[in-house]
Amino acid sequence: MAEKRRLLRFTRTERAVHWVHATAFLVLLATGLALYLPSLAELIGRRPLLKDIHVYTAVAWAVAIVAVVLAGDRRSLGRTLREIDVFDRDDRDWLRGRKAPQGRFNAGQKLNAAITVAFAILFAVSGAFLWLGERDTRFRFAQTILIHDWLTQISLVLFLGHLYLAVIHPSTRHALNGMTRGWVDAEWAERHHPKWSRGVPPETR
Amino acid sequence: MTAPEADPRPYGRRAFLALLAGGVSSFAWALPASRIFSPVTSGLSQLFANVLPVGGWRIYTISGSMPVFDPTSWTLTVDGLVERPVTLTYDDLEKLPAAEQVSTFHCVTGWTVRNVRWRGIRLRHILDLAGPLRSAHALRFVSSEHPYEDSLTMEQALLPDVMLALELDGSPLSRPHGAPLRLVIPEMYGYKGVKWLERIEVVAQQPTGFWENLGYDQDAWVGKSNGYG
């Protein structure tokens, strides 16, 4: 049987950034919900412990992201940033719901990445104000908790959509392979990301 | 590789920067916006009651688990600088003259619940039972969620809408809300409203409470303390 052709979609550094962020997001979401929802708060209790886990996970997230960037393959991260930034005519057509060939990231993935990074910063800023405000009235603003909540609610919707496309939706879930092992099927790439797959030298393993 | 007809545009960074600007500027517009939407969200909060805290309550605790109310053994003690220390059971409290009020609950962390219907006993009735001595100037409220406690001056405690609440919105206080008894003082932020109240000690000098020890204001007037106003 002929070996299937595979293409390397994500470098180890790119995957490390993704999984550091994903792990932190899940821990923060779980502890955050237990702090936020009255029914869960009653069920679980242990508020001081959950608060500590929440805050220290946020700190660990920031440290880990910086560590991966410093120790990893920054050229591949730079390339990713440029690809996310640039929307060509096909990307704009794709966003309007037309069929248009896509690169390594489709336009939706690019938008999702931009939102994720912006939200991470906004979460960190509002979270820092919440933490500081409990200790010093100069950092206490009535709207901080509201903003942190809104970010959570929007992120939850985006996360569920992301999870659906990556794990459940039959035609897109192969993409998960790219994020776990790095490579994707060349045929699949040809269907979903033709502008990218035609440009990469095939890497068979 | 990009042909001129591909017309590349930096939408990625624009989306990122726009979101960042929107998020940072929301420190200016989040409150007015939430007020516009509050009829919707408070309606939702009544629908989902305890499931989603949309425009509703959040439950803050300081210990591993919330105290459990046992009606057969629970008591409220009023002691300290009083003529006759009293110990009241839940039945005793239910027999005292009840009062009702609708007031707004403000939390120092920024959320508010409007039109909360409380039913309970005026604090001054309870104090009259024990008879504070002339040397009494403050009250120390002790929660069975140790080491939570807070205090009021006698003057603050005698404000007309200060209440020891047994019911919230028509039903007995639930466990997260401090069953069976909590202090309500609508003029002040919620951290003054000690939940799971088990003891009122009448004292000469006002002690500092749990959050005051962590930097919160002793007088928690809504809008005029803790950095607001």
User: CATH number for the domain including A37?
Assistant: 1.20.950.20
pLDDT value at residue B43: 54
Residues in B touching A131 (Cβ below 8 Å): none
Count the alpha carbons within 13 Å of B136 in the hemisphere toward its beta carbon. 24
Q: What is the mean pLDDT of residues A24-51?
A: 91
Count the alpha carbons within 13 Å of B192 in the hemisphere toward its beta carbon. 27
**A29 interfacial to chain B (CB closer than 8 Å):** no
In a domain, A160, yes or no: yes
Per the model's pLDDT, the better-predicted residue between A27 and A137 turns out to be A27
Which 3 state secondary structure label does DSSP give B9?
strand
Instruction: Tell me which residue range forms the domain holding A101.
Output: 11-168
Q: Is the pLDDT of residue B47 over 70?
A: no
Q: What is the mean pLDDT of residues B98-114?
A: 92
Q: How many helices and strands (H and E) does chain B possess?
A: 4, 10
Nearest-CA residue of chain A relative to B10? A86
The 3 state secondary structure assigned to chain A is: CCCCCEEECCCHHHHHHHHHHHHHHHHHHHHHHHHHCHHHHHHHCCHHHHHHHHHHHHHHHHHHHHHHHHHCCHHHHHHHHHHHHCECHHHHHHHCCCCCCCCCCCHHHHHHHHHHHHHHHHHHHHHHHHHHHCCCHHHCCCCHHHHHHHHHHHHHHHHHHHHHHHHHCCCCCCHHHHHHCCEEEHHHHHHHCHHHHCCCCCCCC
pLDDT value at residue A205: 46
Percent of chain B at pLDDT above 70?
A: 90
Q: What is the mean pLDDT of residues B29-57?
A: 66
In a domain, A195, yes or no: no
Q: What is the mean pLDDT of residues B54-80?
A: 89
pLDDT value at residue B202: 98
Residues in B touching A110 (Cβ below 8 Å): 11-12
Tell me the domain boundaries of chain B: 8-48, 75-214
In a domain, A198, yes or no: no
In a domain, A40, yes or no: yes
Q: Which of B25, B47, B109 is most worth mutating to test chain A (most A CB atoms within 10 A of its CB)?
A: B109
pLDDT value at residue B5: 73
pLDDT value at residue A1: 45
In a domain, A101, yes or no: yes
List, for residues B68-84, the tens digit of each pLDDT value: 999 999 999 999 999 99
In a domain, A193, yes or no: no
Residues in B touching A199 (Cβ below 8 Å): 1
Task: Mention the CATH class of domain B75-214.
Answer: alpha beta
In a domain, A128, yes or no: yes
Q: Is the pLDDT of residue B176 over 80?
A: yes
pLDDT value at residue A13: 97
Question: Cβ contact (<8 Å) for B12 and A119?
Answer: no
Q: Is the pLDDT of residue A204 over 50?
A: no
ipTM of the complex: 0.90
Determine the straight-line distance between the first and last CA of chain B, rounded to whole angstroms.
58
Instruction: Round to whole Å and give the CA distance between B152 and B157.
Output: 6
In a domain, A3, yes or no: no
List, for residues A93-142, the tens digit of each pLDDT value: 999 999 999 999 999 999 999 999 999 999 999 999 999 988 888 898 88
pLDDT value at residue B200: 98
Instruction: Round to whole Å and give the CA distance between B57 and A145.
Output: 13
Number of structural domains, chain A? 1
Q: What is the mean pLDDT of residues A171-189?
A: 95
Shortest Cα distance, chain B CAs vs residue A136, angstroms: 7
Per the model's pLDDT, the better-predicted residue between B49 and B133 turns out to be B133
pLDDT value at residue B57: 85
- In this prediction the pTM is 0.87
**A140 interfacial to chain B (CB closer than 8 Å):** yes
C-beta atoms surrounding A44 within 10 Å: 17
Least confident of A136-145, A171-180, B33-42, B210-219: B33-42
